Amino acid sequence: MVMLKTVDLGISFGGLNAVNSFNIEVEEGQLYGLIGPNGAGKTTVFNLLTGVYKPTTGRFSLAGEDLTGKSPTEICNHGIARTFQNIRLFKNMSVIDNVKVALHTRMKYPLASSFFRFPNYFSTEKRMNDEALRLLEVFDLDKHKDYNAASLPYGKQRKLEIARAMATNPKLLLLDEPAAGMNPNETAELMETIRFVRGEFNMTILLIEHDMRLVAGICEKLTVLNFGTELASGETTEVLKDPQVITAYLGE
Amino acid sequence: MKKLLKSKSLIFTAVLIIAYILISVLIDQGKFTRSQQAIMLRMCSNIILAMSLNLVVGSLGELSLGHAGFFCAGAYAGGYFAVHAGLPLTVSFIIALIIGGIVGAIFGFFISSSILRLRGDYLAIVTLAYGELIRSFAKIIPALGGTRGLIGVPSLGSRGDQWMYMFAVVIITFVLISNFTRSRHGRAINSIRDNAIAAQSIGININRYKVMTFTISAFFAGMAGVVFAFFKGNVEPADFTYNLSIEALLMVVFGGMGNLVGSIIAAAGITALPEILRDAAEYRLLIYAISLILLMIFTSNPKLVELRKRFVPKTLFASRRKEGVTNGNA
């Protein structure tokens, strides 16, 4: 089944075409890479897919459902979750609260329960706690659950961000440069984590990355962006051999 | 149940109840002068106001300088009801509290809905304007008594009785707000404060929660206004100048943003300060200002904070969260 499909997706800011007719088809359970030089428009694609920007042209759909022009909240509820290039955790909240807050739209109780603590407050909070702990265990963060999110080491912050995204129960996970700023050991660990997430949750993952070893190691298919347009797309090994792609990355 | 007993808020509530009994006994024995008693009642309304503002400033992370406006709306609405309803005192006080809260919340709802695009300083400036606007409206409505204000709000009885009622409102407000901040809604609001973009990405409707926070906060500010009206016996526009908003903000900032207990202590302290300094006569304002500056330095200077941490037992101020994780794969 096609999980994510974009048709001629594009956005321009004033006269600048940041992304130009972007076409991609991600199959369910696939690990898809989106690469390209700096300023190619990769993060803009993510912002389009999560509703932060409204596309000026084209459409995109998740599992056959058209989501073009929906608000970030709605898109999240339909099952697209993301992480950010520069980590965006809730820094003054504890590790477990970072995950619990992402359960917000899945496990609910009314406002009155928040004030008066009716029985459904306790039962729902318990379910949230269990679910959050389960996710933290998956990412090996359960030992740090009561720490401030900001006090975690960098690699663990990345993991926590992925855990938080997973808590929204997404169909599609967007990872924006998950290995940025990581040392080789941490990157290797991260690759394991990403593979594990895909296996454990049968997750469809679209990721932006500059670390070619990571891309070559885990992505099945790639799309290369350059100056907002698609340069190449296809099986990872073939795309990475493409002379055009090599030119875009390394120059003539 | 064990968890419940352990929770900080319950311990604090117990402390409050002991404080209540102690103070009411002292009042009954006439250990306080009249002005000291008045200050203590004034503290109650200020504490509620500070706790309500703490929701906006501490939890949502936005600056509101218009809380005097919600306070004013609540005081007038509750006071007007109490003057004209002619119900038994207790009933009239409870209904007035609810009416004052609701009127405050209505203002909070509409005002916050109109300023959703604003953030930070700009939002603060506009709330300041709205606060003054509410006060000015109160001034020109004939039924509210114009500049002279509303007079004849019934008293809740002796100072001791008043103390009982108002203290009860403080405790109820404290429990409700502290419950709220530790619920899914409270977490959502905190997440907006910490990172709005990330909050949006996990499906939190930022505008909805901003309006919700302001509305709830304005509800409690309105209740604080009613408490004030019943204590003072009359309500006049001059009671609600922007000085009150600034003072409330001072209480929240000194108490530590997001720290309810801190807000209570700071509110009590700042309300009492002018009275404590009464003997200093003409130097009063000078000392008041200097002590605020010293307090500010004491609460925010990193070296002094460290010093304070060394001397004050950790359990008193330590947050529930632990700081610092050693790097590595522990």
| Residue of chain B whose Cα is closest to the Cα of A102 | B202
Amino acid at B283: Y
Check whether B2 has a pLDDT greater than 50: no
Q: Which chain A residues contact residue B203 at CB under 8 A?
A: 72-73, 76-77, 102, 104-105, 168
Nearest to B323 among A91, A151, A156 (CB): A151
Residue in B58, B44, B100 with CA at minimum distance from that of residue B249? B58
Nearest to A73 among B191, B195, B205 (CB): B205
Name the domain count of chain A.
2
CB-based contact B36:B245 (threshold 8 Å): no
pLDDT winner (highest mean) among A9-18, B23-32, B144-153, B180-189:
B180-189
Residue B108 has a pLDDT of: 96
Q: Are residues A15 and A64 in the same domain?
A: yes
Tokens found for residue B19? 């404080």
Residue-range definition of the domain harbouring residue A100: 95-165
Q: Are residues A175 and A75 in the same domain?
A: yes
Q: Which chain B residues contact residue A114 at CB under 8 A?
A: 179-180, 183-186
CATH of the domain at A13: 3.40.50.300
Amino acid at B55: L
Q: Are residues A148 and A215 in the same domain?
A: no
Q: Which chain B residues contact residue A94 at CB under 8 A?
A: 320-321
Q: What is the mean pLDDT of residues B265-279?
A: 85
| Residue of chain A whose Cα is closest to the Cα of B58 | A92
| Residue of chain B whose Cα is closest to the Cα of A147 | B322
* Confidence label for B299 from pLDDT (cuts 50, 70 and 90): confident
Tokens found for residue A13? 């800011």
Determine which of B132-141, B219-228, B274-283 has the lowest per-residue pLDDT on average.
B274-283
Residue B230 has a pLDDT of: 93
Amino acid at A165: A
Interface test with chain A among B185, B321, B323, B329, by most A beta carbons within 10 Å: B321
Q: What is the mean pLDDT of residues A26-31?
A: 92
| Residue of chain B whose Cα is closest to the Cα of A140 | B329
Interface contact B321, partner A, CB < 8 A: yes
Nearest to B185 among A94, A103, A114 (CB): A114
Determine which of A58-67, B251-260, B290-299 has the lowest per-residue pLDDT on average.
B290-299
Residue A131 CA to residue A198 CA, distance in Å, equals 18
Residue that wins the pLDDT comparison between B308 and B173: B173
Check whether B300 has a pLDDT greater than 80: no
Q: Which of residues 164-183 of B touch A (CB under 8 A)?
A: 176, 179-180, 183
Residues A134-188 have pLDDT tens digits of 999 999 999 999 999 999 998 899 999 999 999 999 999 999 999 888 888 888 8
CA distance B143 to chain A (A): 34
Check whether A201 has a pLDDT greater than 60: yes
A90 in a domain, yes or no?
A: no
User: Which residues, listed in sequence order, are joined to residue B307 by a DSSP beta bridge?
Assistant: none
Q: Are residues A71 and A8 in the same domain?
A: yes
| Residue of chain A whose Cα is closest to the Cα of B4 | A122
Q: Which chain A residues contact residue B328 at CB under 8 A?
A: 153
Check whether B317 has a pLDDT greater than 50: no
Tokens found for residue B322? 């632990």
Interface contact B61, partner A, CB < 8 A: no
Q: Are residues A131 and A176 in the same domain?
A: no
Nearest to B325 among A89, A121, A147 (CB): A147
* In the block, residue with structure tokens 């010093």: B307
The answer to whether A90 contacts B205, with C-beta atoms less than 8 Å apart, is no
CA distance A128 to chain B (A): 10
Check whether B328 has a pLDDT greater than 50: no
A219 in a domain, yes or no?
A: yes
The answer to whether B200 contacts A52, with C-beta atoms less than 8 Å apart, is yes
| Residue of chain A whose Cα is closest to the Cα of B328 | A153
Residue that wins the pLDDT comparison between B6 and A126: A126
Tokens found for residue B217? 């906060």
Residue B321 has a pLDDT of: 45
A245 in a domain, yes or no?
A: yes
Q: Are residues A124 and A52 in the same domain?
A: no
Residue B150 — φ and ψ, nearest 5°? -90, 125
| Inter-chain contacts counted by CB atoms under 8 A, chains A and B | 125
The answer to whether A90 contacts B323, with C-beta atoms less than 8 Å apart, is no
Tokens found for residue A170? 């997404």
| Residue of chain A whose Cα is closest to the Cα of B257 | A92
CB-based contact B187:B8 (threshold 8 Å): no
Residues A45-82 have pLDDT tens digits of 999 999 999 999 999 999 999 999 999 999 999 999 99
C-alpha distance from residue B43 to each of A179, A232, B39, B271 (Å):
53, 69, 6, 6
Vertex A28: Cα angle to A26 and A32 (nearest 5): 40
Amino acid at B110: F
Residue A100 has a pLDDT of: 96
Identify the helix (H) or strand (E) that includes residue B14.
helix B8-28
CB-based contact A57:A21 (threshold 8 Å): yes
Check whether B278 has a pLDDT greater than 70: yes
Residue B79 CA to residue B97 CA, distance in Å, equals 9
Check whether B325 has a pLDDT greater than 60: no
Residue in B213, B224, B237 with CA at minimum distance from that of residue B78? B224
Residues B109-143 have pLDDT tens digits of 999 999 988 888 899 999 999 999 999 999 998 88
A87 in a domain, yes or no?
A: no
**DSSP, res B156:** -
Interface contact B119, partner A, CB < 8 A: no
Q: Tell me if the domain spanning B8-19+34-314 has CATH number 1.20.120.
A: no
Amino acid at A166: M
Residue B322 has a pLDDT of: 46
* Confidence label for B7 from pLDDT (cuts 50, 70 and 90): low
Residue B191 has a pLDDT of: 96
* Confidence label for B97 from pLDDT (cuts 50, 70 and 90): very high
Residue that wins the pLDDT comparison between B30 and B107: B107
Amino acid at A112: A
Residue B313 has a pLDDT of: 57
Residue in B145, B132, B134, B107 with CA at minimum distance from that of residue B234? B145
Check whether A252 has a pLDDT greater than 60: yes
Residue B312 has a pLDDT of: 64
Domain boundary, last residue among A141, A165, A189: A165
Q: Which chain A residues contact residue B205 at CB under 8 A?
A: 71, 73
Amino acid at B326: T
Determine which of A119-133, B3-17, B110-124, B229-243 has the lowest per-residue pLDDT on average.
B3-17
Q: What is the mean pLDDT of residues B195-215?
A: 94
CA distance A245 to chain B (A): 31
Residue B104 has a pLDDT of: 97
What is the value of ipTM here, to two decimals? 0.90
The answer to whether B194 contacts A93, with C-beta atoms less than 8 Å apart, is yes
CA distance B215 to chain A (A): 13
Q: Which chain A residues contact residue B185 at CB under 8 A?
A: 111, 114
| Residue of chain A whose Cα is closest to the Cα of B203 | A73
Interface test with chain A among B3, B180, B202, by most A beta carbons within 10 Å: B202
3-state secondary structure of A251: coil
CA distance A173 to chain B (A): 12
Check whether B212 has a pLDDT greater than 90: yes
Determine which of A10-19, A168-177, B102-111 has the lowest per-residue pLDDT on average.
A10-19
CA distance B46 to chain A (A): 21
Interface contact B204, partner A, CB < 8 A: yes
Check whether B57 has a pLDDT greater than 80: yes
Mean pLDDT for all residues in chain B = 86
Q: Are residues A188 and A230 in the same domain?
A: yes
Q: What is the mean pLDDT of residues A217-244?
A: 88
Residue B330 has a pLDDT of: 31
CB-based contact B78:B229 (threshold 8 Å): yes
Q: Are residues A175 and A135 in the same domain?
A: no
